Amino acid sequence: MLLKNKVAIITGSSRGIGRSIARAFSLEGAHIVLNGRKTSARPIEGLAKEIESQGTKVLIVRGDAGDWETAQRLVQQTIERFGRVDILVNNAGISPMASIEEIGPKAWDEVFRINLKSAFLCSKAVLPHMKRRRSGAILNISSGSAKSGGVGAHYAASKGGVNTFTKSLAFEGGPYGIRANAISPGPIATEMADELFAPDRKRFLESVIPLGRLGSPEEIADAAVFLCSNEASFITGEILELDGGLNFYKPLSYAGQRWKSGGSQ
């Protein structure tokens, strides 16, 4: 088991990529701290029961990861229960679609608060503990939009911030044995994607992805296991693109603009 007896905090773990990462980590032997807002209570409780049935321990800490009090409580309660934090996965995020003219100042701030500030706050809360132990792995979930831009400027900009924040984390954490990396997913078949993309748009995205399909949350989770394990002990400051080849073939911004204009490939 790659993560046997490791203790992992996963923010935004009620559904989609976060849920799949929690499952994958538990199958690799990690004890899991689940986090989500109060509105996600039922799916998180169901996931906790599923994980416990596999023989690993679970703690649920409810609250908004973009709030400093919640971030501190996440770390404090984890240490009280398990004695340490080995892994932090900053996954909490939202991805509204809107043009620059449609984005209001409050909407801009909210996307940055959840997508970027939450990663900053949770990392800030856990760093002193990881520094004392001179060990730790922090994984941020970014997006291909961070590199390509496209529709949803607030989302793309917040994820661009996640990428550069990851590199700063790696720089500051390195001398203490703390590694920081990010995964940059392309289009992934999650509940969030189902809410954002109509069936015809999904088909269009599949047509411009070299592998011919959307990725799965489980594929992101497999990469997360590797990056947070000792198998990746000399990897830090990296942004791993998992997009089926989309960004080297036709950038996500191109795909989005062609879709909006109704153009062909």
Q: Which residues are catalytic?
A: 155
Q: What are phi and psi of 35, to 5 degrees?
A: -140, 140
CB atoms under 10 Å from CB of 27, counted, come to 16
- DSSP H/E element including 217: helix 217-228
Q: Please report which helix (H) or strand (E) contains residue 163, including its range.
A: helix 153-173
| Strand intervals (E) in 47-203 | 58-62, 87-90, 136-141, 178-185
Looking up tokens 């607030």, which residue turns up?
154
Cα 85–Cα 91–Cα 95 angle in degrees, nearest 5: 165
- DSSP conformation class of 92: -
Tally of CB atoms within 10 A around 110? 17
Please, which residues bridge with residue 183 across strands? 141, 240
Residue in this structure with the two tokens 């990462």, named with its chain if needed:
21
